[in-house]
């Protein structure tokens, strides 16, 4: 995957190339067109206003971030070709597009691309009509305007699809020709609108002004519908985010669900939780929980700056995320308490049995896995607990737990069954030598343990059971390891091996 800097460099080069092609296309229109001047300043003003209004009032939106806005661009182009000569049509169209985008407040790169893509595509469309007239194809001046609109649509849609690819805003699973169905639909509506304006204007000089009212009403209604649809989509994003974070999820699952929803509803490349506030063109909102504050940050979009309503949406998502994360923290805490010893923090009996059951299931599918279960009982602990107090005893138990976790391998499990009994699951024994690993546990008790201002010596009796020699079920392994521990205690030994499981005779 390309880095954002490399991606932005290619995007900038592409936009610059589109702008150069647009300049060449506009110049080409003025050079190639030799048609006599046609149409007055009122017609030119209406075409320019139509072009500007087209981009100020989107006809349709399909993305919550407005990245997929559709405009009746063909309306001004077709009207210009019907009412004006090609040069004036090009000039009026370019002026309307330039003014509209200059005051839009969008990111510079998007303004540059919009001017280049629309003016360049418009120039190609007008040149197609000029070519039709030059070749003497049948029809009055401007009769080939719908064909010019089609050429404009094809070129402009290709420009947009390429920029979607370079900017990384094409959604997963979308074809290269993004939203072709909606684009064709809006293009047809725009062409029909342009034909209406142009044909009315041809009735008599100045008659085109009577189209301003109906067209303005169309723009206002379409904008109101787009804004309402966009508001619904933004609210739906919040609702969907709330449904994504249901009770019982872990903190990691909640964070993942929130970030995925932010990326989706804001159409941004990525999002993250972090301690630092947003920088540059990033958008951020504070997530408050009972554990502190963090920032929910949406990474900047390559061609579309974030808007005010999107900042409000992110704040709403941050508030929802804060409540969901508090619930997840509580769930994780309760789950940990249910599976871990409250004193030492080691896995308790329930979690040890769960880990052993999973290990046995894995071993049954393998021909090389080995499992060892060591049951530990302390010697000398009762004297410390009775003579120095329960606080000292608790401190000693925690020290033993800490030491045991340092002598086993990363894949092994050290648990406390209660009292002064510990269990070690050797799930990744070195070279399959479980007894050697158990002897390391025994030797770890040789150095004395500091307890308060005192140094105490504590030993252990260890019973060791192996899978599958001493049992094939988790409860059987634990039972045999416990029995081996009592055998070691009776014999005064530090380590004793479990008795092998008798195999049924075939006779």
If asked whether residues 252 and 363 sit together in one domain, one would say no
If asked whether residues 312 and 357 sit together in one domain, one would say no
* Stretch 135-150: mean pLDDT: 81
Distance from chain centroid for Cα 284: 15
- The predicted structure's pLDDT at residue 302: 66
* Stretch 397-407: mean pLDDT: 92
Name which of 122-136, 176-190, 327-341, 386-400 the model is least confident about.
327-341
Q: How far apart are CA 94 and CA 175, in angstroms?
A: 31
| The pLDDT of residue 121 is above 80 | yes
Helix (H) or strand (E) holding 460: strand 459-467
If asked whether residues 293 and 391 sit together in one domain, one would say no
- Does 380 fall in a domain? yes
- The predicted structure's pLDDT at residue 1: 45
* DSSP 8-state secondary structure symbol assigned to residue 420: T
- The predicted structure's pLDDT at residue 102: 83
Give the chain's domain count: 3
- Does 305 fall in a domain? yes
* Stretch 392-402: mean pLDDT: 92
Nearest to 401 by CA among 429, 385, 380, 424: 424
| The pLDDT of residue 504 is above 60 | no
If asked whether residues 383 and 328 sit together in one domain, one would say no
| The pLDDT of residue 2 is above 70 | no
* Stretch 432-438: mean pLDDT: 81
- Does 157 fall in a domain? yes
CB contact set of 348 (below 8 Å; sequence gap of 6+): 339, 340, 341, 415, 416, 417, 418
Q: Which of 135-139, 165-169, 360-364 reaches the highest mean pLDDT?
A: 360-364
- The predicted structure's pLDDT at residue 66: 44
**Residue-averaged pLDDT of the chain:** 84
If asked whether residues 11 and 159 sit together in one domain, one would say yes
| The pLDDT of residue 503 is above 70 | no
If asked whether residues 412 and 451 sit together in one domain, one would say yes
- The predicted structure's pLDDT at residue 328: 81
If asked whether residues 87 and 107 sit together in one domain, one would say yes
Q: How far apart are CA 457 and CA 66, in angstroms?
A: 71
Distance from chain centroid for Cα 44: 47
If asked whether residues 334 and 365 sit together in one domain, one would say no
* Stretch 286-303: mean pLDDT: 85
- Does 504 fall in a domain? no
| The pLDDT of residue 292 is above 90 | no
- The predicted structure's pLDDT at residue 63: 55
- Three-state SS for 469? coil
Among the three residues 214, 236, 262, which one is the final residue of a domain in this structure? 214
If asked whether residues 328 and 353 sit together in one domain, one would say no
CB contact set of 3 (below 8 Å; sequence gap of 6+): none
Q: How far apart are CA 247 and CA 323, in angstroms?
A: 11
- The predicted structure's pLDDT at residue 90: 93
**Helices 108-134 and 145-167 meet at what angle, rounded to 10?**
150
* DSSP 8-state secondary structure symbol assigned to residue 294: E
Note whether 74 and 156 are within 8 A (CB).
Answer: no
| The pLDDT of residue 106 is above 50 | yes
If asked whether residues 330 and 356 sit together in one domain, one would say no
| The pLDDT of residue 195 is above 80 | yes
* Stretch 20-37: mean pLDDT: 88
| The pLDDT of residue 218 is above 90 | no
- Does 166 fall in a domain? yes
Nearest to 424 by CA among 188, 361, 434: 434
Per-residue model confidence as pLDDT tens digits over 438-473: 898 999 999 999 888 888 999 999 999 998 888 888
- The predicted structure's pLDDT at residue 231: 67
Q: Categorize the per-residue pLDDT at 109 as very low, low, confident or very high, splitting at 50, 70 and 90.
A: confident
| The pLDDT of residue 17 is above 60 | yes
- The predicted structure's pLDDT at residue 501: 64
| The pLDDT of residue 116 is above 70 | yes
What domain range includes position 443? 349-497
| The pLDDT of residue 506 is above 50 | no
CB contact set of 328 (below 8 Å; sequence gap of 6+): 245, 249, 250, 251, 253, 254
| The pLDDT of residue 77 is above 70 | yes
If asked whether residues 78 and 205 sit together in one domain, one would say yes
Q: How far apart are CA 304 and CA 281, in angstroms?
A: 10
Name which of 136-145, 201-210, 336-345, 471-480 the model is least confident about.
136-145
Q: How far apart are CA 196 and CA 49, in angstroms?
A: 15
**Helices 41-56 and 180-203 meet at what angle, rounded to 10?**
160
> Residue 377: which CATH number?
3.30.70.270
If asked whether residues 361 and 319 sit together in one domain, one would say no
Using CA atoms in the order 382, 387, 389, 393, what is the torsion angle rounded to 10 degrees? -40
Q: Which of 244-258, 323-337, 346-360 reaches the highest mean pLDDT?
A: 346-360
- The predicted structure's pLDDT at residue 65: 46
- The predicted structure's pLDDT at residue 25: 92
- The predicted structure's pLDDT at residue 6: 59
- The predicted structure's pLDDT at residue 505: 47
- Does 22 fall in a domain? yes
| The pLDDT of residue 385 is above 70 | yes
Residue 455: both structure tokens together: 């140094």
Note whether 86 and 29 are within 8 A (CB).
Answer: yes
Among the three residues 316, 339, 362, which one is the final residue of a domain in this structure? 339
> Residue 112: which CATH number?
1.10.1760
């Amino acid at each position: 995957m390309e880095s954002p800097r490399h991606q932005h460099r290619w995007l900038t080069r592409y936009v610059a190339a589109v702008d150069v092609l647009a300049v060449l296309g506009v110049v080409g229109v003025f050079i190639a067109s030799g048609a006599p001047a046609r149409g007055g300043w009122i017609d030119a003003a209406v075409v320019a206003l139509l072009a500007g209004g087209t981009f100020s009032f989107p006809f349709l939106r399909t993305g919550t971030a407005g990245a997929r806005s559709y405009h009746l661009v063909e309306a001004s182009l077709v009207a210009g070709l019907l009412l004006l000569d090609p040069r004036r049509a090009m000039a009026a169209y370019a002026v309307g597009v330039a003014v509209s985008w200059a005051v839009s407040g969008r990111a510079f790169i998007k303004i540059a691309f919009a001017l280049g893509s629309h003016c360049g595509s418009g120039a190609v469309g007008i040149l197609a009509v000029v070519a039709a007239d030059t070749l003497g194809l049948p029809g009055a001046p401007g009769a080939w305007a719908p064909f010019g609109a089609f050429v404009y649509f094809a070129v402009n849609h290709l420009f947009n699809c390429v920029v979607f690819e370079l900017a990384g805003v094409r959604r997963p699973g979308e074809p290269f020709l993004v939203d072709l169905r909606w684009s064709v639909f809006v293009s047809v509506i725009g062409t029909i609108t342009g034909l209406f304006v142009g044909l009315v204007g041809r009735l008599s000089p100045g008659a085109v002004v009577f189209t301003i009212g109906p067209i303005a009403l169309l723009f206002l209604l379409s904008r109101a519908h787009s804004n309402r649809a966009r508001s619904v989509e933004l609210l739906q994003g919040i609702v969907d985010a709330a449904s994504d974070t249901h009770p019982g999820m872990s903190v990691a699952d909640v964070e993942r669900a929130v970030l995925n929803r932010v990326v989706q509803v804001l159409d941004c490349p990525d999002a993250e939780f972090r301690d630092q506030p947003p920088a540059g063109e990033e958008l951020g909102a504070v997530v408050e929980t009972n554990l502190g504050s963090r920032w929910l940050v949406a990474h900047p979009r390559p061609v579309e700056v974030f808007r005010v309503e999107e900042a409000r949406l992110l704040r709403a998502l941050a508030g929802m995320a804060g409540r969901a994360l508090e619930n997840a923290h509580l769930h994780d805490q309760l789950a940990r308490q249910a599976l871990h010893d409250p004193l030492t923090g080691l896995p308790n009996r329930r979690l040890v049995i769960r880990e052993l059951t999973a290990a046995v299931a894995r071993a049954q599918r393998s021909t090389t896995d080995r499992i060892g279960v060591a049951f530990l009982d302390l010697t000398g602990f009762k004297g410390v607990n009775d003579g120095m107090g329960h606080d000292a005893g608790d401190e000693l138990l925690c020290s033993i737990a800490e030491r045991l976790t340092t002598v086993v391998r990363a894949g092994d499990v050290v648990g406390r069954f209660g009292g002064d009994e510990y269990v070690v699951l050797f799930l990744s024994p070195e070279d399959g030598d479980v007894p050697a690993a158990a002897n390391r546990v025994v030797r770890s008790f040789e150095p004395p343990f500091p307890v308060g201002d005192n140094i105490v010596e504590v030993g252990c009796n260890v019973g060791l059971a192996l899978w599958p020699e001493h049992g094939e079920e988790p409860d059987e392994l634990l039972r045999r390891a416990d029995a081996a521990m009592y055998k070691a205690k009776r014999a005064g030994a530090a380590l004793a091996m479990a008795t092998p499981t008798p195999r049924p005779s075939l006779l």
